[in-house]
């Protein structure tokens, strides 16, 4: 801008009005080939932001800030020799050219409020990662100076020093009942029980309380849910039929158990990506691989090639989001516009998954497999008899199902599977599900009534004596050899892409891919690379996610977006120190969480009135000048309604249950198309996209649900009854202890007292009082 | 038992921030939205009419004499065509007569003849193309701009971008078919990664509980007349105490404000749904003057008119009261007997009554909007997930056709009485094969008329800047007034 002034002082040119003259001219004559609006960046150039002009295209910057009169843009519109004339077809009309000339000579000022493309714009990468790209902080090794942080005190030292640097200080400690409520929810997602609250009031031993909570089986339910959000866990197909997945819950239970047993994060990740290859004899592996089966599935999609490709790309996207904290999806079709990620990187990551095939109904243990085998033997004869009867009808069903596919897929279905290439086999398998669907529903489609009844009868008989086998939806590989995915560049032959790591991180070599008997070994290599000792991103991303869960905001605020559009860390030394401590401690999460919640930083009061300056300049509490405060999560709202009324069934694990069951919300069936209304209203994850953080909203729907909804009403009644029948002398105290885990403050007690004074023996009155407490802000928000 | 306005104002405490209330009303100010509208809008409201199951273009709106000529002859598309079922039977003529209507002389099929009265207000697009013949994905594509789940409905985007223009009702209201949801259910109007208040609110005209949980209901009747107000009083007092010392916490203020809005909704929603004050003349416009209270068991035009007419009249009342986006569904998900537009077996049997009911009701809506002056600022959009094949499935039904179908628009900023983007001689696909009109173009056009540049209404989610039109979309200049 000083430069602009300089020009103006010399009186060479005054800039034309940007919004009235310049922008319309650019839009009319240049945007067609060089803007985000049209999605074109010919010659790598966009001219819809000042960054775009300065970064320029293949030929360098479009505007020369030092010598505006030498700006390529100016020369181009003047159609000077030696420069590509712009616009190429026809010279600009004179008035338009003069507007742009005056503007470029004035330094091409671009007012911030113009609203056009406010983001940094990069020229095309052309498949190249530059040395500058490699300097982005997130890709660097842990700072050598960062000292391992594994205890609460070290966390406090870091936070205090950053507060001190701003001339700030910590808030006073939270009231001990508030602290207990906060930590109990943060570690278990449940309110403190009355007895626990009373015991803690008598002996506020934080360390003991934390140990008790970390050892609770409900810890895994709370923290497992956070992982399920990330991997978009659900128990149905989505799309139209939204078919229920009756064994998906095993993966959910495995996640909960892994958190409860404090499985090291590296192993946790490895089992989900490649348990079959890395621990083939571990039955848990099969279930952990459920991670690779969580995507949506459309049962009557006829373009099976595209369908299978989309399934693999979905896994690729989610894995990059979850493990690396990088939004790689943009690089599916082109090099990433902002981050140093290439299209080739995307497909190289996808290539790790290119051997996958889906496996359903795999027995979860050796014993179960033997049981299944025995049953098969025992029923072999009758099943053969049934097969014989079904054969002619199956042939018709096959033809009918086959006829719905496009010709090339019909051809595929006509070919014996063993003759197909690996990639063809995978497409065959996904298409064949639709044939199998017809077989499974054979009796509903048969016209011959007699044969139909006979088959129906036999099927029913067989079903009646089939035990329920413990099975899982899992994956295996198409074989030892798999086909690489291809990328087609315009006008060129599709190029197969081998597995590989993102170029920007290629200094961390990929472990050798060891081919197994029936498996490519690719996923094992990926899992090992991600959790390798030198990978700076994977542990950092996870440590930051944990910090975000505990303190409300990540040290890197954009927890799944560590690229150049994400935010830089607020406390880089602390992040690296915690990560180093995490790695040194064997990637264990419980000690990490323990250190955080035991810190005095965490223990601060969330309300602070003594220093408005801090609130004004850091309303997000990024620097932690007060304690965290959050609304209860959706599951916590629902679970607490039950827990307060003492009606919660605390059984851990098992198949999903219906909405009405008084179980913890994590055990409700998760149907993608029909969500529990209360959970949906309170911003639960939707199981469709990875959800790194919930976005708490305040809506009328929530208010109506808490005021008039069935659960709030029934649990208020139950809680009211409990208070009345408990025989407690002080009902108000009992109510507050049950609902809020603390005693009422004097003014709260007197408010309730006034309300109930005239109705003291009226059960309805206590129901309504309980209802009031259960929908109050004191209930919904943690202090 | 319910909130009264006075009640709430007295009880819920004073002085909550305007910001808090604005957020509840889907009117949250965000830095990146500060530039909205991007230009002067031509319209402020939208009605989206969605025919679930796939409405036939060639039997209703897109007149093809060539099909009459070749009726029964083997079909030949001049290219390899992938049918969804067995849809490549002989050519099948339009199942009804077509006649010209209006100044523009638009040819319309007999069941939609009532729309002839407003033909001069409508811009037809006959060269729409989708991407798939699968119901769910095609429905997602037309409803959210993406064929995969996980993206906000158009109404949610518009609510997010422009906020509410009323203080009592949600910005985005959905009137589902009274028989049930279409493919994907409520996911079609989900807010996905946009804040929750932008999700479509379901309203069921005529149902005992038109809005779920608006009133304390059938769950329990333990509440007594005296205790409930006391409970609410206690709540208000507890919240006030909680807020003192936390002034400036928008979340808490918004929650307190939400009780006021809930109370206003309790008054406003039943009033908006109350058709008893409408005059006979108005009821007649929508075909609601039949005086019957029960209908035949089989699908019939009168019942269809009644069902759709009620929704359309409620839509007008909602628009009048400042609801920004009303989505009306015709047809539920698959099932037998068919109560949707998926006429694989018999076009006449299912399309006949559905189309007549739809046309009666929508013609009434357009005339009524014009009468009240609302049509000038309301975009009315008629669409479906895909069209139907010009060939038969061997009998009287037609298979899915994602290659070509009709969408039409009317109202604020739309040039009426025109046809944009012709289809080929059979109504199979765009006449200019390489350049069909896509849903992105329609969405871009609607946003444009609302003052929004579709490339600039973006939200960062999942590591990408998402928008309604993905990376596509061109405003259809031809149909702008």
Q: Which residues contact B18 (CB under 8 A, 6 or more apart)?
A: none
- Whether B238 sits inside 8 A of A240 (CB atoms) is no
Q: What pLDDT shows up at residue B33?
A: 55
Judging contacts by C-beta atoms under 8 Å, the chain A residues touching residue B228 are 768
pLDDT digits (tens, 9 = 90+) for A60-75: 788 887 888 888 898 8
Q: What b/e readout covers A24-42, taking b as 16+ CB neighbours within 10 angstroms?
A: ebbbebbbebbbbbeeebe
Q: A186 near A550, Cβ under 8 Å?
A: yes
In this model, does residue B6 exceed pLDDT 50? no
Contact flag B223-A767 (C-beta cutoff 8 Å): yes
Of B150, B197, B227, the CB nearest to A699: B197
The dihedrals phi and psi of B129, each to the nearest 5 degrees, come to -135, 140
Residue of A nearest to B84 (CA): A404
Q: In this model, does residue B397 exceed pLDDT 90? A: yes
| pLDDT grade for A8, boundaries at 50, 70 and 90 | very low
Nearest neighbour of B220 by CB, restricted to A116, A672, A717: A717
* HEC letters along A125-143: CCCCCCCCHHHCHHHCCCC
Give the pLDDT confidence score for residue A780 in this predicted structure.
96
Question: In terms of C-beta density within 10 A (0-12 exposed, 13-18 middle, 19 or more buried), how is residue A476 classed?
Answer: middle
pLDDT of A107-122, one tens digit each? 888 775 444 443 444 4
CA of B287 to nearest chain A CA: how many angstroms apart?
Answer: 33
Q: Indicate the pLDDT class of residue A448, thresholds 50, 70 and 90.
A: confident
In Å, how far is A584's CA from the nearest CA of chain B? 30
Q: What average pLDDT score do residues B78-97 get? A: 88
Q: For residue B141, what is the nearest residue in chain A, using CA coordinates?
A: A239
Tell me the percentage of chain A whose pLDDT exceeds 90.
Answer: 66
Tokens 């009726």, residue? Answer: B71
Residues A57, A44 contacting (CB under 8 angstroms): yes
Chain A residues within an 8 Å CB radius of B248? 615
The answer to whether the CB of B380 falls within 8 A of the CB of B449 is: no
Nearest CA in chain A to B150: A688
Contact A697 B224 (CB under 8 A): no
Residue B65 has pLDDT above 50, yes or no: yes
pLDDT in tens, B400-451: 999 999 999 999 999 999 999 999 999 999 999 889 999 999 999 999 999 9
Contact call for A240 and B183, based on CB within 8 A? yes
Confidence of residue B4 (pLDDT cuts 50, 70, 90): very low
Q: Is the dihedral of CA A131, A137, A138, A143 positive or negative?
A: positive
- Give the whole-angstrom CA distance, residue A191 versus residue A183: 9
Listing DSSP states for B368-429 in one string gives: HHHHTTGGGGEEEEEEES-EE-SB-SSSB---EETT-EEEEEEETTBPPSEEES-B-TTSSS
pLDDT tier for residue B209 given thresholds of 50, 70 and 90? confident
The CA distance from A733 to A259, in Å, is: 35
Distances (CA, A) of A41 to A48, A329, B453: 10, 20, 19
Mean local confidence (pLDDT), A542-558 = 95
Instruction: Give the sign of the dihedral formed by CA A291, CA A294, CA A299, CA A300.
Output: negative
Per the CB < 8 A criterion, the answer to whether A233 and A295 are in contact is no
Q: Where are the domains of chain A?
A: 2-124, 380-465
- Closest-CA distance, B173 to chain A, in angstroms, reads 13
pLDDT at residue A241 in the model = 83
pLDDT tier for residue B230 given thresholds of 50, 70 and 90:
low
Lowest mean pLDDT among A288-297, A488-497, B270-279: A488-497
Q: Which of A404, A700, A763 sits opposite B258 (nearest CB)?
A: A700
Confidence (pLDDT) at B1: 29
Dist. CA A633–CA B463, nearest whole Å: 23
The shortest CB-CB distance from A298 to any of B136, B222, B456 is to: B136
Domains of chain B: 41-215+262-479 (3.40.720.10)
Give, in order, the Cα–Cα distances in Å from A386 to each of A190, A460, A628, A769, B243: 52, 11, 64, 64, 71
SS3 assignment, position B243: helix
**Residue from the list B230, B237, B265 with its beta carbon closest to the beta carbon of A765:** B230
- Name the band, by pLDDT with cuts 50, 70 and 90, for residue A164: very high
pLDDT of B5 higher than 60? no
* Weakest mean pLDDT among A132-136, A220-224, A693-697: A693-697
> Highest-confidence range of A199-213, B211-225, B256-270, by mean pLDDT?
A199-213
For residue A303, give the chain B residue with the closest CA.
Answer: B132
* CA-angle at A498, arms to A529 and A330, nearest 5°: 80
Q: What ipTM goes with this model? A: 0.74
CB B378 within 8 A of CB B411: yes
* Mean pLDDT lowest among A600-614, A651-665, B271-285: A600-614
Please tell me which residue of chain B has the smallest CA distance to A339: B463
Measured between beta carbons, the chain B residues lying within 8 angstroms of A714 are 219-220
Of A711-715, B267-271, B363-367, highest mean pLDDT: B363-367
Q: What is the pLDDT of residues A559-576, one digit of tens each?
A: 998 988 788 999 999 999
Across the interface, which of B186, B217, B254 has its CB nearest the CB of A708? B217
CB B79 within 8 A of CB B429: no
How far does the CA of residue A301 sit from the closest CA of chain B (Å)?
6
First to last CA, chain A: 47
Contact present, B234 and A669 (Cβ < 8 Å):
no
Tell me the per-residue pLDDT of A84-114, one tens digit each, with 9 for 90 and over.
889 988 889 888 888 898 888 888 887 754 4
Which pLDDT band holds residue A618 (cuts at 50, 70, 90)?
Answer: confident
A-chain CB neighbours of B139 within 8 Å are: 240
**Does residue A255 contact residue A228 with C-beta atoms inside 8 Å?**
yes
Q: Do B184 and A330 touch (CB under 8 A)?
A: no
At B15 the pLDDT is: 32
| Helix residue ranges, H only, B134-226 | 135-144, 154-162
CA distance A180 to B189: 40
Average pLDDT, chain A: 90
* A-B contacts at Cβ under 8 angstroms: 226
pLDDT band at B220 (very low <50, low <70, confident <90, very high): very low
**Taking CA atoms, what residue in A is nearest to B85?**
A404
> Which H or E element spans position A756?
helix A746-757
Whether residues A713 and B216 touch (CB distance < 8 A) is answered with yes
Q: What pLDDT band is residue A238 in, cutting at 50, 70 and 90?
A: confident
pTM for this entry: 0.79
Put simply, the answer to whether A674 touches B83 (Cβ < 8 Å) is no
**Which of B196, B149, B211, B23 lies closest to A681 in space, CA to CA?**
B196
Residue B253 CA to residue B243 CA, distance in Å, equals 8
**Minimal C-alpha gap between A154 and chain B (Å):** 30
Helices and strands per DSSP (H, E), number in chain A? 34, 6
Q: Does A37 contact B455 at a Cβ distance shorter than 8 Å?
A: yes
Distances, alpha carbon A445 to alpha carbons A258, A403, A437, B27, in Å: 45, 15, 11, 52
Chain-chain contact of B85 with A686 (C-beta, under 8 angstroms):
no
Closest-CA residue of A relative to B235 is A772
Q: Which of A43-57, A514-528, B326-340 has the lowest mean pLDDT?
A: A43-57
Q: Give residue A12's pLDDT band: very low, low, confident or very high (50, 70, 90).
A: very low
CB contact under 8 A, A776 and B242: yes
Q: Which of A404, A683, A780 sits opposite B84 (nearest CB)?
A: A404
Interface test with A, best of B235, B246, B457 (most A CBs within 10 A): B235
pLDDT band at B392 (very low <50, low <70, confident <90, very high): very high
Strand partners for B346: B396
* Model pLDDT, residue A37: 66
State which residue of chain A sits closest to B186, comparing Cα positions.
A673
For A471-506, the pLDDT digits (tens) are: 999 999 999 999 999 987 767 788 999 999 999 999
Residue A317 has pLDDT above 90, yes or no: yes
Measured between beta carbons, which residues in chain B are less than 8 angstroms from residue A673? 184-187
């Amino acid at each position: 801008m000083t430069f602009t002034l300089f020009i103006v002082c010399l009186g060479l040119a005054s800039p034309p009005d940007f919004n009235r003259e310049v922008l319309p001219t650019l839009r009319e004559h240049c945007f067609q080939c060089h803007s985000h609006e049209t999605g074109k960046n010919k010659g790598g150039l966009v001219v819809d932001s000042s960054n775009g002009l300065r970064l320029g295209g293949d030929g360098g910057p479009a505007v020369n800030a030092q010598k505006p009169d030498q700006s390529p843009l100016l020369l181009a519109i003047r159609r000077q020799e030696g420069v590509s004339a712009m616009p190429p077809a026809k010279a600009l009309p004179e008035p338009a050219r003069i507007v742009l000339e005056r503007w470029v000579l004035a330094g091409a000022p671009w007012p911030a409020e113009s609203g056009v493309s406010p983001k940094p714009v990069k020229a095309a990468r052309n498949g190249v990662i530059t040395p500058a790209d490699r300097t982005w902080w997130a890709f660097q090794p842990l700072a050598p100076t960062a000292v391992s942080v594994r205890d609460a005190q070290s966390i406090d030292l870091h936070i205090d020093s950053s507060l001190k640097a701003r001339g700030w200080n910590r808030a006073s400690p939270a009231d001990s009942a508030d602290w207990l409520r906060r930590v109990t929810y943060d570690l278990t997602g449940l309110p403190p029980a009355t007895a626990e609250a009373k015991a803690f009031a008598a002996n506020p031993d934080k360390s003991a309380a934390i140990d008790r909570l970390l050892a609770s089986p409900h810890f895994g339910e709370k923290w497992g849910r956070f992982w399920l959000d990330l991997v978009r866990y659900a128990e149905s197909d989505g799309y139209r039929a939204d078919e229920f997945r009756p064994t998906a819950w095993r993966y959910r239970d495995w996640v909960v158990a892994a958190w409860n047993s404090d499985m090291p994060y590296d192993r946790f990740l490895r089992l989900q990506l490649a348990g079959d290859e890395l621990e083939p004899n571990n039955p848990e592996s099969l279930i952990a691989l459920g991670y690779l089966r969580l995507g949506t599935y459309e049962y009557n999609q006829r373009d099976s090639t595209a369908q299978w490709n989309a399934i693999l790309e979905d896994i690729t996207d989610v894995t990059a989001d979850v493990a690396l904290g990088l939004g790689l999806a943009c690089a599916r079709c082109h090099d990433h516009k902002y981050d140093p990620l290439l299209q080739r990187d995307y497909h190289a990551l996808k290539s790790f998954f290119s051997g996958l095939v889906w496996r359903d109904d795999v027995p979860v243990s050796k014993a179960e497999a033997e049981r299944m085998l025995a049953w098969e033997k025992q029923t072999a004869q009758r099943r053969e008899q049934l097969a014989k009867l079904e054969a002619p009808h199956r042939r018709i069903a096959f033809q009918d199902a086959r006829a719905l596919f496009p010709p090339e897929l019909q051809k595929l279905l006509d070919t014996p599977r063993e003759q197909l290439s690996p990639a063809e086999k995978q497409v065959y398998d996904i298409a064949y599900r639709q044939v199998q669907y017809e077989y499974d529903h054979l009796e509903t489609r048969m016209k011959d009534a007699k044969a139909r009844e006979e088959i129906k009868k036999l099927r029913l008989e067989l079903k009646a004596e089939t035990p329920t086998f413990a099975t899982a939806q899992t994956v295996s590989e198409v074989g030892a050899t798999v086909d690489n995915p291809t990328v087609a560049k315009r006008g060129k032959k599709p190029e197969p892409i081998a597995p590989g790591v993102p170029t920007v991180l290629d200094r961390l070599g990929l472990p050798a891919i060891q081919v197994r008997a029936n498996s490519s070994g690719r996923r094992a290599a990926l899992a090992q690379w991600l959790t390798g000792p030198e990978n700076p991103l994977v542990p950092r991303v996870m440590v930051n996610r944990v910090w975000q869960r505990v303190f409300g905001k990540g040290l890197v605020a954009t927890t799944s977006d560590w690229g150049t559009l994400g935010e830089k860390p607020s406390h880089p030394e602390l992040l690296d120190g915690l990560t180093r401590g995490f790695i040194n401690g064997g990637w264990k999460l419980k000690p990490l969480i323990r250190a955080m919640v035991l810190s005095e930083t965490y223990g601060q009061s969330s309300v602070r009135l003594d220093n408005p300056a801090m609130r004004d300049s850091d309303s997000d509490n990024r620097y932690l000048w007060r304690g965290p405060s959050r609304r209860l999560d959706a599951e916590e709202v629902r679970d607490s309604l039950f827990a307060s009324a003492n009606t919660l069934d605390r059984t851990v694990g098992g198949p999903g249950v219906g909405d009405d069951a008084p179980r913890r919300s994590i055990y409700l069936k998760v149907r993608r198309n029909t969500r529990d209304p209360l959970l949906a209203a309170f911003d639960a994850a939707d199981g469709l996209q990875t959800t790194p953080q919930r976005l708490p909203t305040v809506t009328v729907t929530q208010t109506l649900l808490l005021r008039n909804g069935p659960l709030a009403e029934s649990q208020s009644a139950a809680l009211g009854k409990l208070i009345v029948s408990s025989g407690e002398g002080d009902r108000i105290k009992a109510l507050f202890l049950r609902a809020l885990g603390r005693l009422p403050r004097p003014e709260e007690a007197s408010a309730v007292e006034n309300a109930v004074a005239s109705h003291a023996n009226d059960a309805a009155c206590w129901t309504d009082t309980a209802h009031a407490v259960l929908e109050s802000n004191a209930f919904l928000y943690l202090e | 038992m319910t909130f009264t306005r006075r009640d709430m104002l007295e009880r819920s405490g004073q002085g909550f921030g305007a910001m808090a209330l604005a957020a509840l009303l889907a009117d949250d100010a965000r830095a990146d939205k500060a530039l909205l509208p991007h230009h002067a809008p031509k319209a402020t409201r939208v009605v989206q009419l969605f025919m679930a199951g796939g409405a036939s273009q060639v039997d209703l709106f897109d007149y093809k004499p060539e099909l009459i000529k070749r009726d029964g002859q083997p079909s030949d598309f001049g290219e390899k065509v992938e049918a969804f079922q067995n849809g490549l039977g002989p050519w099948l003529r339009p199942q009804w007569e077509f006649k010209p209507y209006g100044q523009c002389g638009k040819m319309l099929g007999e069941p939609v003849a009532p729309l002839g009265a407003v033909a001069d207000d409508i811009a037809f697009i006959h060269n729409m193309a989708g991407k798939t013949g699968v119901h769910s994905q095609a429905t997602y594509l037309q409803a959210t701009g993406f064929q995969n789940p996980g993206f906000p409905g158009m109404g949610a985007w518009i609510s997010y971008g422009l906020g509410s223009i009323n203080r009592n009702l949600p910005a985005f209201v959905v009137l589902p078919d009274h028989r049930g949801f279409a493919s994907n259910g409520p996911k079609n109007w989900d807010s996905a990664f946009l804040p929750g208040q932008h999700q479509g609110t379901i309203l069921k005209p005529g149902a005992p509980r038109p809005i779920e949980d608006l009133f304390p209901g059938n769950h329990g009747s333990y509440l007594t007349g005296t205790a409930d107000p006391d409970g609410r009083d206690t709540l208000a007092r507890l919240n006030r105490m909680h807020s003192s010392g936390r002034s400036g916490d928008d979340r808490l203020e918004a929650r307190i404000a939400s009780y006021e809005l809930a109370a206003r909704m309790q008054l406003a929603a039943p009033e908006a749904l109350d058709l008893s004050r409408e005059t006979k003349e108005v009821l007649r416009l929508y075909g609601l003057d039949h005086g019957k209270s029960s209908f035949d068991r089989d699908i019939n035009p009168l019942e269809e008119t009644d069902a759709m007419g009620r929704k359309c009249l409620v839509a007008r009342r909602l628009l009048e009261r400042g609801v920004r986006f009303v989505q009306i569904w015709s047809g539920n998900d698959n099932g037998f007997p068919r109560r949707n537009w998926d006429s694989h077996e018999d076009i006449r049997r299912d399309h006949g009554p559905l189309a007549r009911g739809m046309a009666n009701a929508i013609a009434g809506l357009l005339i009524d909007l014009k009468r009240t002056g609302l049509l000038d600022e309301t975009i009315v959009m008629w669409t479906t997930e895909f069209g139907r094949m010009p060939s038969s499935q061997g009998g009287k039904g037609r298979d899915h056709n994602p290659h070509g179908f009709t969408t039409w628009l009317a109202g604020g900023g739309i040039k009426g009485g025109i046809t944009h983007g012709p289809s080929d001689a059979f109504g199979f696909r765009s006449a200019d094969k390489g350049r069909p009109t896509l849903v992105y173009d329609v969405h871009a056009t609607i946003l444009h008329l609302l003052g929004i540049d579709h490339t600039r209404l973006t939200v960062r989610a999942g590591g990408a800047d998402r928008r309604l039109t993905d990376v596509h979309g061109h405003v259809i200049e031809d149909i702008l007034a």
